[in-house]
Structure 1
Amino acid sequence: MAKVYKSVGGRKLTKVIAQNEGVQAEVEARTFEIAVRAEEILKQHRADGHSQILVEEGKVDRYVVLSDDRGQKAALSIEYGREAYTVTRKDRYGNEFEVEVGEMDGLYVLATASHLPKKRKGKVRLD
């Protein structure tokens, strides 16, 4: 019968495997593939060019991120969609008026690029 050890040299076995050179090379290659697909999907829908795809590196993992920090900070709405809502604004004279912001379906950029199922999280309410 084989014995499975929980640690190797005082380090957790899962961490030893995750930090293996071959595993890290595969993680990097897959991350790059997903990022390229996500960028292609985003380019098809980009209106003003504020959103972008970034790759972030952790200690072991890498992450493909949909960032909208340069735009309206709407990455969550871009991915999952949003419900319609009303915003109160003021004109230059201080008069208030309401603006209706329309509903938007999600683009599921990251889910599609990762070949993951498009799970509806419910549309985001911004009011």
Structure 2
Amino acid sequence: MAEIYSSVNGRKIEKLMAVNDVVQAELDRRAFEIAVRAEEILIRHRADGHAEIDIEAGDNNRYVILSDDRGQKAALSIEYGREASVVIRKDKHGGKYLDVIPEMDGLYILATASNLPKKRKGKVKLD
């Protein structure tokens, strides 16, 4: 009868597999493929925005990120959409006015590029 070990040299078998060079290379390859598809989708929809696709490496994971840090910080709204909202803004003379931010359908860039289901993540409002 075979004996199954939950660890090797004090390291959990899952961790040992995750740090394997072949596994890490495959994570890099797949993250790059997803990022390329996401960038293609983003370019088709970008008029003058600042959003971009980034890849971040964790300890044993890779993350494909839709970033809008340089723009309106609207990555969540770009991905999942938003409902219409009204915000109070100040003009250059210190007066206040109401500004209507229209509803926007999500582009689901990361979900589409990753072949994941498109699910709206609840209400998203910009302030």
State the secondary structure of the residue aligned to 1:89: strand
Deviation digits for residues 82-115 of structure 1, max 9, x if unmatched?
0101111222222221111100000000000000
Question: How does the TM-score come out when normalised to structure 1?
Answer: 0.94
- Total equivalences in the alignment: 127
The answer for the alignment partner of 2:102 in structure 1 is 102
Question: How does the TM-score come out when normalised to structure 2?
Answer: 0.94
Tell me, yes or no, if structure 1 residue 28 matches structure 2 residue 28: yes
Letter in 1 for 2:106: G
Question: Residues 69-84 of structure 1: matches in 2 within 5 Å?
Answer: 69-84=69-84
Tell me, yes or no, if structure 1 residue 42 matches structure 2 residue 42: yes
Letter in 2 for 1:6: S
Segments ≥4 residues shifted beyond 3 Å: none
Tell me, yes or no, if structure 1 residue 118 matches structure 2 residue 121: no
Q: CA RMSD in A?
A: 1.1
State the secondary structure of the residue aligned to 1:122: coil
State the secondary structure of the residue aligned to 1:30: helix
State the secondary structure of the residue aligned to 1:87: strand
Question: Which structure 2 residue ranges, 5 or more long, are not aligned?
Answer: none
Identity of aligned residues (%): 67
The answer for the alignment partner of 1:14 in structure 2 is 14
Is the CA contact (8 Å cut-off) linking 1:80 and 1:123 kept in structure 2? no
Question: Which structure 1 residue ranges, 5 or more long, are not aligned?
Answer: none
Is the CA contact (8 Å cut-off) linking 2:83 and 2:125 kept in structure 1? yes
Is the CA contact (8 Å cut-off) linking 2:81 and 2:120 kept in structure 1? no
Deviation digits for residues 42-86 of structure 1, max 9, x if unmatched?
001112130000000111111000000000000000000001011
Displacement of 1:120 = 1.9
Displacement of 1:25 = 1.0
